[in-house]
Amino acid sequence: MAMGDIASWAANKHHGEGAILTGKVFISCGMASSGEQKAALLVRDLLKNKFGLTPYVAITVQSLDDVMTITKELRSSDYYL
């Protein structure tokens, strides 16, 4: 399903056109390819700009502090993708 299709489906199926949601979304992102990362960033932008959600995407993990930040963000999120 294309990103535009996802936005259309979500807006029309659940909340009506232009609905604003609230909450924080943790977006799980594979790091195997730049395509996966680009898709995660497109989803992030869609959730933020179209639905008013607060997305979090963890793309690079390089240290224990990064892992702890990701754990904190996941724990404080309302939704998980």
Torsion angles phi and psi, residue 71, rounded to 5: -60, -45
Q: What is the pLDDT of residue 6?
A: 56
* Residue 58 confidence (pLDDT): 82
Maximum CA extent, the chain: 42
Q: Tokens 């639905």 sit at which residue? A: 51
Total-model pTM: 0.66
- Angle at CA of residue 56, ends 41 and 7, nearest 5°: 50
Amino acid at the residue 67: V
How much is the pLDDT for 4? 56
Q: In 10 A of CB 43, how many CB atoms?
A: 19
**Contact assessment for residue 27 and residue 40, using Cβ atoms and an 8 Å cutoff:** yes
Q: Is it the case that residue 55 has pLDDT exceeding 80?
A: yes
**For 12-53, what is each residue's pLDDT tens digit?**
545 455 555 679 999 988 777 888 889 999 999 999 999 889
For the chain, the domains span 18-80
pLDDT of residue 12: 54
